[in-house]
Structure 1
Amino acid sequence: MPPITLYFLQASRSIRSAWLLEELGVEYGVKAAERENQKAPQSMKDEAGGLGKLPVLKDGETFIYESGNITEYLCDKYDTEHRLLPPVGDPKRYQVLQWVHAAEATYMLHGLAILYVRWNQKGGDVAATEAGLAVNVQKDLDYLATELGKSGGKFLVGDSPTAADVMMEFSVDFILTRELGTKEKEWERVEQYRRDCQKTASWQKAQKKTGYRL
Protein backbone atom coordinates (compact mmCIF):
# COMPACT_ATOMS: atom_id res chain seq x y z
CA MET A 1 0.00 0.00 0.00
CA PRO A 2 1.14 3.59 -0.60
CA PRO A 3 1.99 5.61 2.52
CA ILE A 4 -1.42 7.35 2.30
CA THR A 5 -4.56 5.31 2.85
CA LEU A 6 -8.07 6.68 2.50
CA TYR A 7 -10.72 4.87 4.50
CA PHE A 8 -13.73 5.39 2.28
CA LEU A 9 -17.43 4.95 3.05
CA GLN A 10 -19.92 4.77 0.21
CA ALA A 11 -22.60 7.48 -0.07
CA SER A 12 -20.52 9.77 2.11
CA ARG A 13 -18.25 12.78 2.21
CA SER A 14 -15.32 10.45 1.43
CA ILE A 15 -15.46 11.49 -2.23
CA ARG A 16 -14.13 14.89 -1.19
CA SER A 17 -10.86 13.41 0.02
CA ALA A 18 -10.46 11.13 -2.99
CA TRP A 19 -11.10 14.02 -5.39
CA LEU A 20 -8.56 16.18 -3.60
CA LEU A 21 -5.92 13.46 -3.66
CA GLU A 22 -6.44 13.08 -7.41
CA GLU A 23 -6.25 16.87 -7.89
CA LEU A 24 -2.98 16.91 -5.97
CA GLY A 25 -1.58 13.95 -7.92
CA VAL A 26 -0.73 12.18 -4.66
CA GLU A 27 -0.61 8.39 -4.71
CA TYR A 28 -2.97 6.74 -2.27
CA GLY A 29 -4.63 3.46 -1.46
CA VAL A 30 -8.31 2.98 -0.73
CA LYS A 31 -10.02 0.78 1.82
CA ALA A 32 -13.69 1.08 0.92
CA ALA A 33 -16.68 -0.03 2.93
CA GLU A 34 -20.41 -0.31 2.54
CA ARG A 35 -22.74 1.15 5.13
CA GLU A 36 -24.32 -1.01 7.81
CA ASN A 37 -27.53 0.46 9.23
CA GLN A 38 -26.60 3.80 7.63
CA LYS A 39 -23.26 3.87 9.49
CA ALA A 40 -19.64 2.88 8.97
CA PRO A 41 -19.29 -0.89 9.48
CA GLN A 42 -17.92 -2.46 12.63
CA SER A 43 -15.02 -3.81 10.56
CA MET A 44 -13.67 -0.25 10.38
CA LYS A 45 -14.41 0.67 13.98
CA ASP A 46 -10.76 1.20 14.88
CA GLU A 47 -9.94 3.29 11.80
CA ALA A 48 -13.10 5.39 12.11
CA GLY A 49 -12.05 6.87 15.43
CA GLY A 50 -14.11 7.80 18.45
CA LEU A 51 -17.09 9.12 16.50
CA GLY A 52 -17.13 6.17 14.13
CA LYS A 53 -17.15 8.39 11.04
CA LEU A 54 -15.49 8.19 7.64
CA PRO A 55 -13.56 9.41 5.68
CA VAL A 56 -10.36 8.96 7.60
CA LEU A 57 -6.95 9.61 6.10
CA LYS A 58 -3.85 7.76 7.25
CA ASP A 59 -0.61 9.43 6.19
CA GLY A 60 2.28 7.34 7.43
CA GLU A 61 1.41 6.79 11.08
CA THR A 62 -0.80 9.88 11.36
CA PHE A 63 -4.58 9.61 11.28
CA ILE A 64 -6.58 12.66 10.15
CA TYR A 65 -10.34 12.88 10.76
CA GLU A 66 -13.18 15.03 9.36
CA SER A 67 -13.36 15.82 5.63
CA GLY A 68 -12.77 19.55 6.10
CA ASN A 69 -9.75 18.91 8.30
CA ILE A 70 -8.43 16.35 5.80
CA THR A 71 -8.83 18.96 3.06
CA GLU A 72 -6.79 21.57 4.91
CA TYR A 73 -4.17 19.00 5.94
CA LEU A 74 -3.61 17.72 2.40
CA CYS A 75 -3.47 21.22 0.95
CA ASP A 76 -1.04 22.46 3.60
CA LYS A 77 1.25 19.46 3.17
CA TYR A 78 1.07 18.61 -0.52
CA ASP A 79 -0.20 21.68 -2.38
CA THR A 80 3.25 23.25 -2.54
CA GLU A 81 2.22 25.66 -5.30
CA HIS A 82 -0.87 26.78 -3.33
CA ARG A 83 -3.04 26.03 -6.35
CA LEU A 84 -5.96 24.69 -4.32
CA LEU A 85 -5.54 26.71 -1.14
CA PRO A 86 -3.57 29.98 -1.13
CA PRO A 87 -0.93 30.52 1.57
CA VAL A 88 -1.56 31.95 5.02
CA GLY A 89 -2.04 35.71 4.83
CA ASP A 90 -3.26 35.76 1.23
CA PRO A 91 -6.83 37.17 1.21
CA LYS A 92 -7.81 34.55 -1.37
CA ARG A 93 -7.08 31.83 1.19
CA TYR A 94 -9.97 33.01 3.31
CA GLN A 95 -12.22 33.30 0.28
CA VAL A 96 -11.58 29.60 -0.30
CA LEU A 97 -11.85 28.68 3.37
CA GLN A 98 -15.21 30.41 3.61
CA TRP A 99 -16.61 27.67 1.37
CA VAL A 100 -14.56 24.90 2.98
CA HIS A 101 -16.31 25.67 6.26
CA ALA A 102 -19.71 26.63 4.82
CA ALA A 103 -19.92 23.24 3.10
CA GLU A 104 -20.47 21.63 6.50
CA ALA A 105 -21.47 24.41 8.88
CA THR A 106 -24.19 25.82 6.62
CA TYR A 107 -25.09 23.65 3.62
CA MET A 108 -24.86 20.18 5.14
CA LEU A 109 -26.26 21.41 8.43
CA HIS A 110 -29.41 22.74 6.79
CA GLY A 111 -29.77 19.77 4.43
CA LEU A 112 -29.29 17.16 7.13
CA ALA A 113 -31.86 18.85 9.36
CA ILE A 114 -34.48 17.92 6.76
CA LEU A 115 -33.15 14.40 6.27
CA TYR A 116 -33.22 13.75 10.00
CA VAL A 117 -36.81 14.97 10.18
CA ARG A 118 -37.74 12.45 7.49
CA TRP A 119 -35.96 9.69 9.35
CA ASN A 120 -36.77 10.50 12.93
CA GLN A 121 -39.80 12.73 13.47
CA LYS A 122 -42.47 10.80 15.35
CA GLY A 123 -45.94 12.24 14.92
CA GLY A 124 -46.86 15.74 13.84
CA ASP A 125 -46.78 17.09 10.32
CA VAL A 126 -43.47 16.03 8.79
CA ALA A 127 -44.21 17.89 5.54
CA ALA A 128 -44.88 21.13 7.40
CA THR A 129 -41.68 20.77 9.41
CA GLU A 130 -39.71 20.12 6.22
CA ALA A 131 -41.28 23.13 4.52
CA GLY A 132 -40.19 25.36 7.39
CA LEU A 133 -36.63 24.03 7.29
CA ALA A 134 -36.52 24.35 3.49
CA VAL A 135 -36.31 28.14 3.80
CA ASN A 136 -32.70 27.86 4.95
CA VAL A 137 -31.71 25.48 2.16
CA GLN A 138 -33.26 27.65 -0.52
CA LYS A 139 -31.57 30.75 0.84
CA ASP A 140 -28.25 28.89 0.81
CA LEU A 141 -28.67 27.83 -2.82
CA ASP A 142 -29.75 31.31 -3.87
CA TYR A 143 -26.56 32.68 -2.33
CA LEU A 144 -24.43 30.00 -3.96
CA ALA A 145 -25.93 30.77 -7.39
CA THR A 146 -25.20 34.46 -6.91
CA GLU A 147 -21.60 33.87 -5.86
CA LEU A 148 -20.99 31.47 -8.74
CA GLY A 149 -22.19 34.22 -11.05
CA LYS A 150 -19.50 36.49 -9.63
CA SER A 151 -16.64 34.02 -9.78
CA GLY A 152 -15.61 34.67 -13.38
CA GLY A 153 -15.32 30.97 -14.12
CA LYS A 154 -16.92 27.57 -13.76
CA PHE A 155 -15.97 27.18 -10.14
CA LEU A 156 -16.27 29.13 -6.91
CA VAL A 157 -12.95 30.92 -7.17
CA GLY A 158 -12.31 31.12 -10.89
CA ASP A 159 -11.98 28.64 -13.73
CA SER A 160 -10.11 25.88 -11.89
CA PRO A 161 -11.18 23.77 -8.92
CA THR A 162 -9.93 24.71 -5.45
CA ALA A 163 -10.43 23.32 -1.98
CA ALA A 164 -13.69 25.29 -1.96
CA ASP A 165 -15.10 23.10 -4.74
CA VAL A 166 -13.72 19.90 -3.24
CA MET A 167 -15.85 20.55 -0.17
CA MET A 168 -18.91 22.14 -1.76
CA GLU A 169 -19.52 19.65 -4.58
CA PHE A 170 -20.61 16.91 -2.22
CA SER A 171 -22.84 19.24 -0.20
CA VAL A 172 -24.58 20.47 -3.35
CA ASP A 173 -24.94 16.97 -4.79
CA PHE A 174 -26.30 15.65 -1.50
CA ILE A 175 -28.95 18.36 -1.21
CA LEU A 176 -30.05 18.30 -4.85
CA THR A 177 -30.07 14.52 -5.27
CA ARG A 178 -32.17 13.97 -2.15
CA GLU A 179 -34.34 17.03 -2.80
CA LEU A 180 -33.70 18.36 0.69
CA GLY A 181 -35.85 21.47 0.73
CA THR A 182 -35.61 21.95 -3.04
CA LYS A 183 -38.88 20.49 -4.32
CA GLU A 184 -40.45 22.42 -7.21
CA LYS A 185 -37.50 24.82 -7.37
CA GLU A 186 -34.49 24.88 -9.69
CA TRP A 187 -31.09 26.56 -9.58
CA GLU A 188 -29.65 26.14 -13.07
CA ARG A 189 -26.34 27.80 -12.19
CA VAL A 190 -25.91 25.47 -9.24
CA GLU A 191 -26.87 22.45 -11.34
CA GLN A 192 -24.28 23.49 -13.92
CA TYR A 193 -21.71 23.85 -11.17
CA ARG A 194 -22.38 20.31 -10.00
CA ARG A 195 -21.97 19.03 -13.55
CA ASP A 196 -18.73 20.99 -14.06
CA CYS A 197 -17.23 19.57 -10.85
CA GLN A 198 -18.13 16.02 -11.81
CA LYS A 199 -16.78 16.46 -15.34
CA THR A 200 -13.25 17.21 -14.11
CA ALA A 201 -10.75 14.46 -14.87
CA SER A 202 -9.72 14.34 -11.22
CA TRP A 203 -13.29 13.85 -9.91
CA GLN A 204 -13.90 11.11 -12.47
CA LYS A 205 -10.65 9.35 -11.52
CA ALA A 206 -11.68 9.50 -7.87
CA GLN A 207 -15.12 8.09 -8.68
CA LYS A 208 -13.64 5.26 -10.73
CA LYS A 209 -10.99 4.36 -8.16
CA THR A 210 -13.37 4.31 -5.21
CA GLY A 211 -16.53 3.10 -6.93
CA TYR A 212 -18.26 6.08 -5.35
CA ARG A 213 -22.01 6.38 -5.50
CA LEU A 214 -24.28 8.75 -3.60
Structure 2
Amino acid sequence: MAPITLYFLQASRSIRIAWVLEELGLDYEVVFADRENGKAPQWMKDQTGGLGKLPALKDGDLMLYESGNITEYLCDTYDKQNKLLPPVGDPKRYAVLHWVHAAEATYALHALAVLYCRWFQKDGDVAKTEEGASVNVQKDLDYLGQVLEMSKGKFLLGEQLTAADCMMEFTADFVFARKLGTQGKSWPRVEQYVKDCQATSTWQKAQKKTGHKL
Protein backbone atom coordinates (compact mmCIF):
# COMPACT_ATOMS: atom_id res chain seq x y z
CA MET A 1 0.00 0.00 0.00
CA ALA A 2 1.21 3.46 -0.87
CA PRO A 3 1.50 5.79 2.13
CA ILE A 4 -0.86 8.27 0.44
CA THR A 5 -4.30 7.34 -0.87
CA LEU A 6 -6.22 9.59 -3.25
CA TYR A 7 -9.96 9.01 -3.44
CA PHE A 8 -10.71 9.95 -7.03
CA LEU A 9 -14.16 10.61 -8.47
CA GLN A 10 -14.39 10.69 -12.24
CA ALA A 11 -14.99 14.06 -13.93
CA SER A 12 -14.18 15.98 -10.78
CA ARG A 13 -11.66 18.23 -9.09
CA SER A 14 -9.73 15.09 -8.13
CA ILE A 15 -7.38 15.57 -11.09
CA ARG A 16 -5.94 18.60 -9.31
CA ILE A 17 -4.59 16.46 -6.50
CA ALA A 18 -3.23 13.74 -8.76
CA TRP A 19 -1.36 16.46 -10.65
CA VAL A 20 0.11 17.92 -7.46
CA LEU A 21 1.18 14.45 -6.33
CA GLU A 22 2.90 13.85 -9.67
CA GLU A 23 4.59 17.25 -9.54
CA LEU A 24 5.97 16.43 -6.11
CA GLY A 25 7.08 12.95 -7.17
CA LEU A 26 5.07 11.27 -4.43
CA ASP A 27 4.00 7.64 -4.41
CA TYR A 28 0.24 7.29 -4.08
CA GLU A 29 -2.57 4.83 -4.51
CA VAL A 30 -5.77 5.75 -6.34
CA VAL A 31 -9.16 4.56 -5.15
CA PHE A 32 -11.29 5.32 -8.21
CA ALA A 33 -15.03 5.60 -8.74
CA ASP A 34 -17.24 6.46 -11.66
CA ARG A 35 -20.29 8.55 -10.94
CA GLU A 36 -23.62 6.86 -10.31
CA ASN A 37 -26.56 8.94 -11.49
CA GLY A 38 -24.21 11.91 -11.63
CA LYS A 39 -23.02 11.54 -8.05
CA ALA A 40 -20.28 9.89 -6.02
CA PRO A 41 -21.22 6.30 -5.14
CA GLN A 42 -22.22 5.64 -1.56
CA TRP A 43 -19.37 3.21 -0.91
CA MET A 44 -16.83 5.95 -1.59
CA LYS A 45 -18.69 8.40 0.63
CA ASP A 46 -18.65 5.78 3.39
CA GLN A 47 -14.90 5.29 3.01
CA THR A 48 -14.04 8.97 3.07
CA GLY A 49 -16.55 10.39 5.55
CA GLY A 50 -17.02 14.11 5.87
CA LEU A 51 -19.61 15.55 3.50
CA GLY A 52 -18.95 12.78 1.01
CA LYS A 53 -17.33 15.20 -1.42
CA LEU A 54 -14.33 14.29 -3.54
CA PRO A 55 -11.39 14.43 -3.79
CA ALA A 56 -10.31 13.19 -0.40
CA LEU A 57 -6.78 12.26 0.53
CA LYS A 58 -5.53 9.98 3.28
CA ASP A 59 -1.97 10.38 4.47
CA GLY A 60 -1.26 7.98 7.31
CA ASP A 61 -4.03 8.54 9.85
CA LEU A 62 -4.91 11.97 8.45
CA MET A 63 -7.92 12.35 6.14
CA LEU A 64 -8.11 15.60 4.20
CA TYR A 65 -10.87 17.23 2.17
CA GLU A 66 -11.26 20.17 -0.23
CA SER A 67 -8.86 20.33 -3.16
CA GLY A 68 -7.37 23.69 -2.18
CA ASN A 69 -6.76 22.53 1.37
CA ILE A 70 -5.23 19.25 0.18
CA THR A 71 -3.00 21.11 -2.26
CA GLU A 72 -1.73 23.44 0.44
CA TYR A 73 -1.15 20.51 2.82
CA LEU A 74 0.84 18.53 0.26
CA CYS A 75 2.97 21.54 -0.60
CA ASP A 76 3.64 22.46 3.03
CA THR A 77 4.41 18.85 3.97
CA TYR A 78 6.33 17.51 0.98
CA ASP A 79 7.42 20.43 -1.24
CA LYS A 80 10.77 20.95 0.49
CA GLN A 81 12.14 22.95 -2.44
CA ASN A 82 9.04 25.19 -2.55
CA LYS A 83 8.55 24.25 -6.17
CA LEU A 84 4.79 24.73 -6.23
CA LEU A 85 4.26 27.04 -3.25
CA PRO A 86 6.75 29.54 -1.78
CA PRO A 87 7.38 29.47 1.98
CA VAL A 88 5.36 31.31 4.61
CA GLY A 89 6.26 34.99 4.63
CA ASP A 90 7.34 35.13 0.98
CA PRO A 91 5.04 37.55 -0.87
CA LYS A 92 5.06 35.17 -3.84
CA ARG A 93 3.29 32.57 -1.68
CA TYR A 94 0.23 34.76 -1.44
CA ALA A 95 0.22 35.42 -5.18
CA VAL A 96 -0.02 31.66 -5.63
CA LEU A 97 -2.61 31.22 -2.89
CA HIS A 98 -4.72 33.96 -4.46
CA TRP A 99 -5.39 31.59 -7.38
CA VAL A 100 -5.59 28.48 -5.22
CA HIS A 101 -8.57 30.07 -3.47
CA ALA A 102 -10.00 31.93 -6.48
CA ALA A 103 -10.27 28.65 -8.38
CA GLU A 104 -13.16 27.69 -6.09
CA ALA A 105 -14.31 30.82 -4.28
CA THR A 106 -14.74 32.89 -7.46
CA TYR A 107 -14.35 30.93 -10.69
CA ALA A 108 -16.05 27.66 -9.76
CA LEU A 109 -18.69 29.50 -7.71
CA HIS A 110 -19.79 31.59 -10.68
CA ALA A 111 -19.64 28.68 -13.11
CA LEU A 112 -21.70 26.45 -10.85
CA ALA A 113 -24.37 29.13 -10.60
CA VAL A 114 -24.89 28.63 -14.33
CA LEU A 115 -24.88 24.85 -14.03
CA TYR A 116 -27.42 24.96 -11.22
CA CYS A 117 -29.70 27.10 -13.37
CA ARG A 118 -29.79 24.21 -15.83
CA TRP A 119 -30.22 21.55 -13.21
CA PHE A 120 -32.59 23.03 -10.69
CA GLN A 121 -34.68 25.86 -12.10
CA LYS A 122 -38.19 24.48 -12.45
CA ASP A 123 -40.18 27.48 -13.65
CA GLY A 124 -39.50 30.59 -15.67
CA ASP A 125 -37.03 31.19 -18.47
CA VAL A 126 -33.96 29.03 -17.81
CA ALA A 127 -32.04 30.52 -20.75
CA LYS A 128 -32.58 34.07 -19.49
CA THR A 129 -31.55 33.12 -15.98
CA GLU A 130 -28.44 31.43 -17.33
CA GLU A 131 -27.64 34.48 -19.45
CA GLY A 132 -27.78 36.70 -16.38
CA ALA A 133 -25.63 34.32 -14.34
CA SER A 134 -23.09 34.20 -17.18
CA VAL A 135 -22.01 37.80 -16.68
CA ASN A 136 -19.75 36.94 -13.74
CA VAL A 137 -18.21 33.98 -15.57
CA GLN A 138 -17.30 36.15 -18.53
CA LYS A 139 -15.78 38.83 -16.31
CA ASP A 140 -13.74 36.13 -14.58
CA LEU A 141 -12.46 34.76 -17.89
CA ASP A 142 -11.65 38.27 -19.13
CA TYR A 143 -9.53 38.87 -16.05
CA LEU A 144 -7.85 35.48 -16.26
CA GLY A 145 -6.98 36.18 -19.87
CA GLN A 146 -5.49 39.56 -18.95
CA VAL A 147 -3.35 38.01 -16.22
CA LEU A 148 -2.09 35.35 -18.60
CA GLU A 149 -1.28 37.96 -21.23
CA MET A 150 0.84 39.81 -18.67
CA SER A 151 2.56 36.64 -17.48
CA LYS A 152 6.16 36.18 -18.55
CA GLY A 153 5.54 32.53 -19.36
CA LYS A 154 2.89 29.95 -20.19
CA PHE A 155 1.52 29.77 -16.68
CA LEU A 156 -0.18 32.17 -14.30
CA LEU A 157 2.97 33.34 -12.55
CA GLY A 158 5.47 32.89 -15.34
CA GLU A 159 7.27 29.96 -16.89
CA GLN A 160 7.33 27.99 -13.63
CA LEU A 161 4.28 25.87 -12.89
CA THR A 162 2.84 26.47 -9.41
CA ALA A 163 -0.01 25.28 -7.23
CA ALA A 164 -2.03 28.11 -8.76
CA ASP A 165 -2.03 26.27 -12.09
CA CYS A 166 -2.75 22.91 -10.49
CA MET A 167 -5.97 24.42 -9.14
CA MET A 168 -7.01 26.70 -12.00
CA GLU A 169 -6.54 24.28 -14.91
CA PHE A 170 -9.50 22.12 -13.93
CA THR A 171 -11.80 25.07 -13.34
CA ALA A 172 -11.07 26.63 -16.72
CA ASP A 173 -11.31 23.28 -18.48
CA PHE A 174 -14.64 22.56 -16.76
CA VAL A 175 -16.08 25.94 -17.77
CA PHE A 176 -15.16 25.41 -21.42
CA ALA A 177 -16.15 21.74 -21.54
CA ARG A 178 -19.62 22.44 -20.13
CA LYS A 179 -19.96 25.85 -21.81
CA LEU A 180 -20.81 27.42 -18.47
CA GLY A 181 -21.51 31.08 -19.05
CA THR A 182 -19.45 31.35 -22.21
CA GLN A 183 -22.52 32.15 -24.33
CA GLY A 184 -20.74 31.31 -27.59
CA LYS A 185 -17.72 33.52 -26.85
CA SER A 186 -14.09 32.41 -26.79
CA TRP A 187 -11.00 33.27 -24.75
CA PRO A 188 -8.04 32.09 -26.86
CA ARG A 189 -5.38 32.89 -24.26
CA VAL A 190 -7.20 30.98 -21.55
CA GLU A 191 -7.90 28.08 -23.89
CA GLN A 192 -4.20 27.92 -24.75
CA TYR A 193 -3.38 27.98 -21.05
CA VAL A 194 -5.48 24.87 -20.48
CA LYS A 195 -3.68 23.15 -23.35
CA ASP A 196 -0.29 24.16 -21.95
CA CYS A 197 -1.18 22.78 -18.52
CA GLN A 198 -2.39 19.52 -20.00
CA ALA A 199 0.76 19.23 -22.13
CA THR A 200 2.99 18.96 -19.05
CA SER A 201 4.37 15.49 -18.43
CA THR A 202 3.07 15.51 -14.86
CA TRP A 203 -0.52 16.32 -15.85
CA GLN A 204 -0.39 13.59 -18.46
CA LYS A 205 0.96 11.09 -15.90
CA ALA A 206 -1.86 12.06 -13.52
CA GLN A 207 -4.45 11.66 -16.27
CA LYS A 208 -3.08 8.26 -17.30
CA LYS A 209 -2.91 6.94 -13.74
CA THR A 210 -6.40 8.10 -12.81
CA GLY A 211 -8.28 7.82 -16.10
CA HIS A 212 -9.53 11.37 -15.67
CA LYS A 213 -11.86 12.71 -18.35
CA LEU A 214 -14.53 15.38 -18.51
Could you tell me the TM-score, scaled by structure 2's length? 0.98
Provide the residue aligned with 1:51 in structure 2.
51
Q: Is the 8 A contact 1:47 1:56 kept in 2?
A: no
Comparing 42-51 with 187-196, greater Cα deviation is found at 42-51
Aligned residue for 1:47, secondary structure, equals helix
Provide the residue aligned with 1:203 in structure 2.
203
Provide the residue aligned with 1:14 in structure 2.
14
**Structure 2 CA distance, aligned partners of 1:108 and 1:84?**
21
Aligned residue for 1:7, secondary structure, equals strand
State the percentage of identical aligned residues. Answer: 71
Aligned 1:92-111 pairs, distance under 5 A: 92-111=92-111
**Structure 2 CA distance, aligned partners of 1:182 and 1:7?**
31
**Structure 2 CA distance, aligned partners of 1:110 and 1:47?**
30
Counterpart residue identity of residue 184, structure 1? G
Q: Report the alpha carbon displacement of residue 81 of structure 1 after superposing the two structures with TM.
A: 0.6
**Structure 1 CA distance, aligned partners of 2:9 and 2:24?**
21
Aligned residue for 2:46, secondary structure, equals coil
**Structure 2 CA distance, aligned partners of 1:61 and 1:187?**
43
Q: Is the 8 A contact 2:134 2:183 kept in 1?
A: no
Q: Report the alpha carbon displacement of residue 61 of structure 1 after superposing the two structures with TM.
A: 1.2
Aligned 1:31-180 pairs, distance under 5 A: 31-180=31-180
**Structure 1 CA distance, aligned partners of 2:151 and 2:40?**
36
Q: Report the alpha carbon displacement of residue 83 of structure 1 after superposing the two structures with TM.
A: 1.0
**Structure 2 CA distance, aligned partners of 1:155 and 1:183?**
25
Q: Report the alpha carbon displacement of residue 48 of structure 1 after superposing the two structures with TM.
A: 2.9
**Structure 1 CA distance, aligned partners of 2:72 and 2:49?**
19
Structure 2: state its 5+ residue gaps.
none
- Give every structure 1 segment of 4 or more consecutive aligned residues whose post-TM-superposition deviation is greater than 6 Å: none
1:194 aligned onto 2:197: no
Q: Deviations over 1:81-116 (max 9, x none)?
A: 111000001000000000000000000000000001
For these two proteins, the number of residue pairs brought into alignment is 214
Q: Is the 8 A contact 1:7 1:56 kept in 2?
A: yes
Q: Report the alpha carbon displacement of residue 162 of structure 1 after superposing the two structures with TM.
A: 0.5
Aligned residue for 1:45, secondary structure, equals helix
**Structure 1 CA distance, aligned partners of 2:50 and 2:81?**
34
**Structure 1 CA distance, aligned partners of 2:211 and 2:105?**
27
Structure 1: state its 5+ residue gaps.
none
**Structure 2 CA distance, aligned partners of 1:3 and 1:46?**
20
**Structure 2 CA distance, aligned partners of 1:168 and 1:47?**
27
**Structure 1 CA distance, aligned partners of 2:35 and 2:84?**
30
Counterpart residue identity of residue 194, structure 1? V
Aligned residue for 2:104, secondary structure, equals helix
**Structure 1 CA distance, aligned partners of 2:117 and 2:138?**
17
Counterpart residue identity of residue 211, structure 1? G
Q: Report the alpha carbon displacement of residue 45 of structure 1 after superposing the two structures with TM.
A: 2.1
**Structure 2 CA distance, aligned partners of 1:181 and 1:115?**
9
Comparing 67-76 with 29-38, greater Cα deviation is found at 29-38
Could you tell me the TM-score, scaled by structure 1's length? 0.98
**Structure 2 CA distance, aligned partners of 1:200 and 1:169?**
12
